[in-house]
A and B are shown apart, each in its own frame.
Chain A
Amino acid sequence: MSINLKVKLVTKQQLKPDIFKFGIKAEKMVDMAKPGQFLEIRVTDNIVPFLRRPISIYNVDKQNGIIEFIFQVKGEGTKILSNKNIGEEIEVLGPLGNGTFKVIENKRVAILGGGIGVFPLYELAKNLKNKSEVNIYLGFRNKDAVVLEQEFQALANKLTITTDDGSYSIQGFAINELKKDIEKEKIDYIYACGPLQMLKAIRDLSIQKNIPCQISLEERMACGVGVCLGCAVKKTEIVEGEFQYAHVCKDGPVFDAKYVNI
C-alpha cells in the first residue's frame, strides 16, 4: 500500500555541506513503511524539474508519525529540495517498493553500506536490533564523508568503519573487512546498499560463499509505482510468462542478489 500526500517538513538538519536529513509529518505512511522502501518526492510545483526524485526512507518514527530521509545534493532536483524550510509542504508518494529487506531473527547477520548507500540501512538495522546479532560494515571515501557513525553504533553488535584513503578508521573497502570476518565466523545473512561496484562484489562473494544476500538497487525511474517499466534491471534467469527484466521501483528496490544480473 502506498499513498500520495502533501506533507509538512517538520525537521531539517544539515549533516554535511551537501547532505541533508529531513523529517516529514506523514502519519498515514508510518504504519505502511517497511525497511528498504523509498519515497517519490516532488521537489517543485513547477513543471521543471518534471520528474519526482526517488529517496529511501531512513527512519520511521511511528510514535510521532514522522518519516525521515537523508539525501545528498547531486543536481538540480536535490538542490531545490535542500532549500525547503521547516513548515513548507512537499508532495510525497510512498512508501514504495515491494522488494524490501527481510528482517531475519536469531541469526548472525552482516549489513554492508557504502557512501550515501548507508541511509536505507538504518531502518533495517533498527528492525534487526535485539532480533539477530548485527554486524555493520560501512565504507566511505574519506574522513569528511563519514556519516551516522553514532547512529549505527547504537544499533550494532559490532560496527566496522573503513575509508578508502585511510584518513579515518581502517583503510580499505568495507567489503574486505566483512570478507575477513566471514572467514573467521559464520555469517548467516548479508544486506547491502551502495555503489554498483560494491554490490557486484558482494553479489559474487555471497554466491561463492553460499550466503543469502539482499541488495538495494538504483535505476533512473519515472513513475515509481511500476506502470512505466522505466527502471529495468536484467534478471539472472529467464522464466516463461514473466518479464526478462525486473523493475526496480516495483519488484525492488531490494532484491535477492542471485535474482538480478547486475
Chain B
Amino acid sequence: MNTEVNFAGIKMKNPVTVASGTFGFGREYSELFDLNQLGAIITKGVSYEPKIGNKSPRVCETPAGMINAIGLENLGVDHFIEYDLPFLHKFDTAIIVNAFGGPGGTVEDYVKVCEVLNKLDIDAVELNLSCPNVCTGCMAFGTTYDGVKQVTSACRKVLTSKPLIVKLTPNVTDITIPAKAAEEAGADAISLINTFSAMVIDVETRRPILGNNTGGLSGPAIRPIAVRMVYQAAQSVNIPILGLGGIMTGNDAIEFMLAGATAISIGSGNFYSPDTSINVLNGIKEYLTKHNIEDINSIIGTVKMN
C-alpha cells in the first residue's frame, strides 16, 4: 500500500499533517507521540516581529467545536530560527512554516518574513491570509481577489526557493475567487479552510465570552462546509489542495481527499485527543485496505457527483 503523496513538490510519507496554531512547534506533543509518523508539521503562525496576543478568554467551546481568538501571539521569526527550527529538524517529517505579516499586517510585513523564511532549511511556507482575529491585514487580504493576488505575488517574488501555500479564509461568498487569485499569483498550493468568524454571548452577563468579542469557529461543526469548499476550489484551480476543517477520523480525511485534497490537516482535533492525528492515519490505512486501494493518490478528487 502506498500512502506517500507529493504535495506541491514536498514529498510526504502520508497526507496527514497537523494544522497551524493547534500544534505549537511540535515540542509539547512530541512528549505524547512519535512525530515521525506525520506527513508534515505546520507550525504556529510566525511573523517578522513578535506579536502580543488578545486578552482572555481566548477560547470557548461550542457545539462540536470551539471558537478562538488567540491573536496570532508569537515570539517572531528570529526566535523561531533559534529555538524551534533546530528542534523540528530532529524529526523525519516535512516542516511547513505558517507565516503572516505581523504585527502591522501590511504587504511589506508579509514580504519581510518571507525573505527570512526563503533562506531556511524548511519544506514550504504557508501564508495565512485568513485569520479572522486581527484587525488589520490577514483576512482583509484574504476575502478579495485583489488582496490575495497582491500579497501572494509580493511573497512569490521573494520566496524563490520554497513552495508557497496560500491559506484561504472561508469567510467569502465564492471560494473559487480567492483560490484562482492565489493560483494566478504563482502559489504552488492552497490550503483551506481557516476558521469562520463567530461569536458566543453569555446570557447572564450579556457580554460575548471571548475577550476579543468574536473569534474563529473550528472543529467538526464546520466540516461539511469545508468539504464543499475544497470540492469547489478543486474544480476551479489546478494547483494541489491541503484540506482541513473538523477532521477527526480516517473517513473524514478520505472525504476531503475524494473532494480533491492531496493532503489534509488535523486542527482542533488535537485538543480532543493528542492521538487524533495518528487515529486519522490508521483510519486512512484501514479504508485503503478495506477497499483494496493500492495507492492513496488514486482516490484524490474522485468523488462522483449525483
Binding site for B on A (CB under 8 A): 1-4, 42, 47-52, 91, 93, 219-234, 241-245, 250
Closest to B220 in A: A47
B204 at the interface (CB under 8 A from A): no
Within the assembled complex, what's the spacing in Å between the Cα atoms of A93 and B270? 12
B14 at the interface (CB under 8 A from A): no
Q: A42-B272, A47-B248 are in contact. Are A225 and B29 (CB under 8 A)?
A: yes
When distances are taken between beta carbons in the complex, the residues of chain B under 8 Å from A91 are 273
* Chain A nearest CB, measured from B43 CB (Å): 10
When distances are taken between beta carbons in the complex, the residues of chain A under 8 Å from B62 are 50
Q: Is the interface of A mostly helix, strand, loop or mixed?
A: loop
Cβ–Cβ contact A220 & B64, under 8 A: no
Cβ–Cβ contact A51 & B271, under 8 A: yes
Cβ–Cβ contact B61 & A51, under 8 A: yes
* Chain B nearest CB, measured from A95 CB (Å): 12
* Chain B nearest CB, measured from A62 CB (Å): 21
B52 at the interface (CB under 8 A from A): yes
What are 21 A-B pairs at a CB distance below 8 A?
Answer: A2-B31, A4-B273, A4-B274, A42-B272, A47-B220, A50-B62, A50-B63, A51-B271, A220-B57, A220-B58, A221-B59, A227-B23, A227-B24, A227-B44, A228-B70, A229-B70, A230-B58, A231-B59, A233-B56, A234-B55, A243-B73
A219's contact among B28, B44, B57, B219, by CB below 8 Å, is which?
B57
When distances are taken between beta carbons in the complex, the residues of chain B under 8 Å from A227 are 22-24, 28-29, 44, 270
For B, the interface residue count at a CB cutoff of 8 angstroms equals 41
Binding site for A on B (CB under 8 A): 21-24, 28-29, 31-32, 44, 50, 52-66, 68, 70, 73, 75, 79, 209, 219-220, 248, 268, 270-275
When distances are taken between beta carbons in the complex, the residues of chain A under 8 Å from B271 are 50-52, 222-224, 228
Cβ–Cβ contact B56 & A220, under 8 A: yes
* Chain B nearest CB, measured from A107 CB (Å): 33
Cβ–Cβ contact B272 & A47, under 8 A: yes
Cβ–Cβ contact A225 & B59, under 8 A: no
Closest to A224 in B: B271
Within the assembled complex, what's the spacing in Å between the Cα atoms of A234 and B22? 21
When distances are taken between beta carbons in the complex, the residues of chain B under 8 Å from A48 are 63-64
Assuming A245-B53, A250-B28, what are 16 further A-B pairs, CB within 8 angstroms?
A4-B32, A4-B274, A47-B272, A50-B65, A50-B66, A50-B272, A93-B273, A220-B58, A226-B28, A229-B70, A230-B59, A231-B59, A232-B58, A232-B73, A243-B75, A245-B73
Closest to B56 in A: A232
A222's contact among B31, B66, B209, B275, by CB below 8 Å, is which?
B66
Cβ–Cβ contact A50 & B64, under 8 A: yes
Closest to A42 in B: B273
When distances are taken between beta carbons in the complex, the residues of chain B under 8 Å from A51 are 59, 61, 66, 271-272
When distances are taken between beta carbons in the complex, the residues of chain A under 8 Å from B57 are 219-220, 230
Q: A227-B22, A227-B23, A227-B29 are in contact. Are A4 and B64 (CB under 8 A)?
A: no
Within the assembled complex, what's the spacing in Å between the Cα atoms of A149 and B268? 40
When distances are taken between beta carbons in the complex, the residues of chain A under 8 Å from B79 are 241
Cβ–Cβ contact A49 & B22, under 8 A: no
A223's contact among B22, B75, B220, by CB below 8 Å, is which?
B22
B68's contact among A3, A50, A222, A244, by CB below 8 Å, is which?
A222
B75's contact among A49, A222, A241, by CB below 8 Å, is which?
A241
